[in-house]
Amino acid sequence: DTEVTQTPKHLVMGMTNKKSLKCEQHMGHRAMYWYKQKAKKPPELMFVYSYEKLSINESVPSRFSPECPNSSLLNLHLHALQPEDSALYLCASSQDLPGFFPQHFGDGTRLSIL
Amino acid sequence: QKEVEQDPGPLSVPEGAIVSLNCTYSNSAFQYFMWYRQYSRKGPELLMYTYSSGNKEDGRFTAQVDKSSKYISLFIRDSQPSDSATYLCAMVKTSGSRLTFGEGTQLTVNP
């Protein structure tokens, strides 16, 4: 079992729906990340939070809206998604932001857009 | 040209074989190196993490880094069917926080 918990595991939504993905870690990590992974490809970075503040946005479309309510939780709000947004969405955390702290991943939410 | 190159395979070996997985990189700014294992429908699991040239061993796994050649390897001894997964190398630059991944190598260990 991973120490980064993501819910839901699967999500099917229409293009007009609004939904949220949730991520939780209790390792005391201060950096949290959202990644998108397409089949047979490595994860692609979307957002980075450090000490609950958005640190990096990799030019992600505004239909994806991240939120970090506290140091243990990370949300990704979804609205008006496109079929090409269907993918595995991974959350990760690390002790702190500098790269010498390795990142630990959750098992992801598999998202399908109808 | 990609900053990190990894042969995607697929790689198929018999049970008990020694497996060698490799990545090369082009930017000497990469200083921290990781290997992740990803089973189908799961997230990447951190296997090994190292930041210095040389070998690091953990059970059946050995990570090797050669910074002069810009080359990293993961060796799996006495491979098991449960090792069948995709293996991703990843690295971070000195002053950065972004992971740069290889494309991943799909490994199958046949009983």
Nearest to A42 among B31, B49, B88 (CB): B88
Residue of chain A nearest B101, judged by CA positions: A42
* pLDDT digit string, tens, across residues B61-95: 999 999 999 999 999 999 999 999 999 999 999 77
pLDDT score recorded for residue A58: 94
Q: Answer whether A31's CB lies under 8 Å from A94's CB.
A: yes
Numbered residues of chain B with Cβ closer than 8 Å to any chain A Cβ: 8, 31-32, 34, 36, 41-46, 49, 51, 88, 90, 92-94, 96-99, 101-104
Alpha carbon A75 to chain centroid distance? Answer: 7
Q: Answer whether B12's CB lies under 8 Å from B108's CB.
A: yes
- pLDDT band of residue A2 (cuts 50, 70, 90) is low
* pLDDT digit string, tens, across residues A47-78: 999 999 999 999 999 999 999 999 999 999 99
pLDDT score recorded for residue A1: 54
A6 contacts in B (CB within 8 Å)? 43
C-alpha distances out from residue A22 to A19, A54, A90, A113, Å:
10, 16, 10, 18
Q: Does A31 have pLDDT greater than 70?
A: yes
